[in-house]
Amino acid sequence: MPQTQRATRATFRTLGRAAPPVALALGSAAFWRVGAPAPVRLADRAVHDSARRATLAHRPTFRHGRGPRAGAAGTVSVATYTWGDPGAPAVLLVHGWRSRASTFGRIVEDLTGAGLRVVAYDAPGHGASGGRRRTGLDDLAVIRRLSDAEDAPWAAVIGHSLGVLAAGTALHEGIEAERFTAISGLTSVRVTTDGFVRAAGIPWALRDRFATAAQRYGLPDHPDVYERFDLLTRTVPTSVPALWVHDAGDRMNPHRLSEQLHEAHAASSELFTTTGLGHNKILGDPAVRSRILDHLAAPASA
């Protein structure tokens, strides 16, 4: 563990015992911090540069602070990308935390090679999009905008990490798609706050108080966020066959999360487990990519 991380954990551990309100306030601010946008990887540059680009004006849902997070009209610019034949069936991609659309580069090549059109976006605070924060509500709003622009349901929706939770919730709330592929996914927002508590060193006894503090810090108008973003209770419709893809050694999102998701969707899902790929390399693995294409091509009754 890096020295700075050890020091941060020690600080939160001490504050959590001696001054819980201070630990909760500092932790809430850190929880929502996205950091600098991830650059386009060299391996993804050609795919990224070949996209047809556009922007959406989006009003952020994050409500804390008065910094320059939005433009004069209270909006931020969300970068969108499209590849493939404009008349082909479309697949929507939803990336994870501190990532960007271009991380799906190899999958984009596979999908367009199979005759599909691909649509993706950089979430607020990520990639080429504006803003400093990202919430699941932002993703839902952008997904709704992109879906409304389509003449037919998505041929598939593919999410990675946090993007799985946003995409799955969108499907539960009525976004139409023929298939759903979830890679290295999360089950709920509560998993993210629990993970932060463990990583930051905040005493576990403050777990529930931290979850409440984080919600009030960034989403005070949405007290139902924990209930709304939970794919174990608000499942993807059984009419949308789901493929859960996860690496057994994923250190960011444990494999058991996809096991739980598979169990919650037992009537309409499959679980594909890999080894040695971790959280991000899984996106470029040939076997994973082949399995995704097989899932998209499977008969509707499968």
* 15 and 48 both lie in a single domain: no
Helix ranges (DSSP H) in 201-252:
207-218, 225-228
Q: How many separate domains does the chain show?
A: 2
Confidence class of residue 5 from pLDDT cuts 50, 70 and 90? confident
The range of the structural domain enclosing residue 179 comes to: 43-188+230-297
Confidence class of residue 103 from pLDDT cuts 50, 70 and 90? very high
pLDDT in tens, 221-241: 999 999 999 999 999 999 999
Q: Residue 163 belongs to what H/E stretch?
A: helix 162-172
The tokens of 97 are what? 């935390």
**SS3 for 195?**
helix
Euclidean distance between the first and final Cα of the chain, in Å?
Answer: 45
pLDDT in tens, 115-164: 999 999 999 999 999 999 999 999 999 999 999 999 999 999 999 999 99
Q: Is residue 36 part of a domain?
A: no
Contact call for residues 170 and 93 (beta carbons, < 8 A): no
Provide, rounded to the nearest whole percent, the portion of the chain with pLDDT above 70. Answer: 94
* Domain stops at, among 228, 251, 278: 228
How many C-beta atoms surround the C-beta of residue 41 within 10 A?
14
Is the backbone of residue 70 left (phi > 0), alpha (psi -120 to 50) or beta? beta
* Top-confidence residue, 6 or 171: 171
CATH number at 50 reads 3.40.50.1820
* 62 and 1 both lie in a single domain: no
Q: Give yes or no for residue 259 having a pLDDT over 60.
A: yes
Q: Which residue has the tokens 């601010």?
A: 29
* 111 and 245 both lie in a single domain: yes
Q: Is residue 69 part of a domain?
A: yes
* 111 and 254 both lie in a single domain: yes
* 250 and 280 both lie in a single domain: yes
* Domain stops at, among 228, 250, 283: 228
Contact call for residues 173 and 143 (beta carbons, < 8 A): no
* Domain stops at, among 180, 211, 228: 228
Contact call for residues 73 and 93 (beta carbons, < 8 A): no
pLDDT in tens, 156-186: 999 999 999 999 999 999 999 999 999 999 9
* 8 and 91 both lie in a single domain: no
Residue 72 pLDDT: 40
Q: Is residue 302 part of a domain?
A: no
Residue 166 pLDDT: 98
* 27 and 139 both lie in a single domain: no
